[in-house]
């Protein structure tokens, strides 16, 4: 595989757990995010790679509550995301 740029789509399923000591409560909710992603593969040797990425996603809470005792935690409808993947590419 070659080093170089990559573009793609991304789906993120996140399970959130919020706790508040002042309110003496907690809540859980799930959020699904979809969007576009791009990054750059850096191959170190024939198989090992590092792949930093950035993404921009549309986010939707589909399960649970985003409030604790009536105080709402506002989630962003759109947001940036970033990650670094480290891996091993098996030869074909």
| 7-25 pLDDT per residue, tens | 999 999 999 999 999 999 9
- Percent of the chain past pLDDT 70, that is, above it, reads 98
- What architecture does CATH give domain 4-88? Single Sheet (2.20)
Residue 83 and residue 86: Cα distance in Å, rounded?
10
Domain ranges of the chain: 4-88
Q: Please give the pLDDT value at position 13.
A: 96
Q: Please give the pLDDT value at position 1.
A: 66
DSSP reduced 3-state for 38: strand
The rounded radius of gyration (Å) of the Cα atoms in the chain is 18
Q: Please give the pLDDT value at position 90.
A: 83
Alpha-carbon separation of residue 91 from 40, 48, 59, 69, 88 (angstroms): 20, 11, 36, 54, 9
Mean pLDDT on 35-52: 95
């Amino acid at each position: 595989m070659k080093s170089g740029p990559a573009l793609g789509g991304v789906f993120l399923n996140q399970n959130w757990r919020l706790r508040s000591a002042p309110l003496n409560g907690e809540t859980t909710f799930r959020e699904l995010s979809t969007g576009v992603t791009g990054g750059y593969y850096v191959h170190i040797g024939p198989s090992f790679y590092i792949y930093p990425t950035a993404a921009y996603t549309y986010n939707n809470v589909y399960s649970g509550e985003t409030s604790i005792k009536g105080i709402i935690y506002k989630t962003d409808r759109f947001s940036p995301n970033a990650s670094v993947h480290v891996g091993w590419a098996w030869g074909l």
